[in-house]
Structure 1
Amino acid sequence: MGRLNIDVHATARARRGYYGMISHIDAMFGRLMDALSDSGVSENTLVIFASDHGDMMGERGMWFKKTLFEPAIHVPLIVGGLGIAQRRVATPVSLLDLLPTLVDVSGAPAGTICTPFNGQSLVPLLHGGSKHDPVMVEHLDGGTDAPRVMLRDGDLKLVLSRAYPTMLFNLSDDPFELNDLASDPAASNDMARLLAKAHEIWDLDALAIDKHANQTARTVVNTALQTGRPQVWDFTPGTLAQNSNYVRSGDKFPDVERRSYLPAKVRR
């Protein structure tokens, strides 16, 4: 399939569909909140609403999530209940913070999480605090050729990879990430500080080696499972195994997505 020329009308229709899905989720979430209230448990229930990723909806000509620009990594995070006052918190945080937050809210003693983890409790922010560690994001999924990482410290955002130019943005005055400050002498101190912090967290060369080894191992396993009598790579009980929307061995992800598409209405 070649490149498609997606004009402004197709972009508008796609975004209307996207916003429509958001409206539907909002309505369903409202029904859940009503059910909690009607059941009399809303006052002693912590409610967290989040998403796993965003999406590029035509920005920069992109129509996917596999990038570290803001539309693809920005997600909603709404926390309410248990006496938490309504406020908007501007401090950047991460989904990695949810585990320690839930442990903290539960009243479990320090040290309850006995395995290594990233993230920190959001409880101080929920009650008016402002201090939080820089936010980390990694892009390492299946077909990634070179790992990409992002470090967000306040309004400053560093994007780093061995295969792509380093980028630095100040999102307070450049929310659309159009002004790369990586080579700006005026931002050299911030650049050096964030680079040093990123290299403390990630060894990109070692990460690339681990990534390649993992991809190679999974390719070998998949090839073996498809040799002779084919075997699926996982176990799924019940009717889910026959679900046409579920990615099975031998499936290509775009093909699975297309099976779920609704018929398009062609406008003349």
Structure 2
Amino acid sequence: MGLAKVSSFLLVILFLINGGSSTTFTIVNQCNYTVWPGLLSGAGTAPLPTTGFQLSSSESRLISIPAAWSGRIWGRTLCNQNETTGRFTCVTGDCASSQIECSGAGAIPPATLAEFTLNGAENLDFYDVSLVDGYNLPMTIVPNGGANGVGKCNTAGCAADLNGVCPEQLKVTVEAAGTTGVACKSACEAFGTPEFCCSGAFGTPDTCKPSEYAVFFKNACPTAYSYAYDDGTSTFTCSGADYVITFCPSVSSI
């Protein structure tokens, strides 16, 4: 093997060792309405090529995710752009950027969140679907092609439509939709007390227990986070996988 070929080979090896490989996220909209995904990178994490876009019903989009990325993805619903000012707003999941791109802003609760830490401890990917900040639409994470015997690579998420059955104390409605729910608040957002927010004297796993509202979320969505200390049945791991994030998946995908 010539010197040039050896050098090229070593560069490829170093590139892979140093985390040059990336993960593919496929974001799929199976809802019968348009969803505007929002994407937020964690602190100190490489930015993504997009932070927000429109995804029509039955449409999907592939995004290359940098190695060791962490962050969250969510869906915005009932969005429109003001014809006069150009300001873009959404009824649920809005990131208050006034644009389709969220540009470093996160979702305003309530919103269903897909959360990731790639290449974390022991080189595992950690992922979950969280209802801790409330719920606005069904969402699942499905890993594809994970390494055999590394992590559990389970499907995570909430395929149930909770807006119609949301407890009245948590239900979010808008005038245009009448009494139809468009989102479901968390108990913390609705009531703001330490026992619901797992704060203050309730800031540990021993003192903060699932409320009746957390139990409602957990019964409907067993593989989604229902409150802050719901780690044991809600966080999943995989290695070397690509991920499909689906809005409004069929119930059979859980």
Larger Rg: 1
TM-score scaled to structure 2, two decimals?
0.25
- The answer to which structure has the higher helix fraction is 1
TM-score scaled to structure 1, two decimals?
0.24
Higher relative contact order (CA 8 A, sep 6+): 2
- The answer to which structure has the higher strand fraction is 2
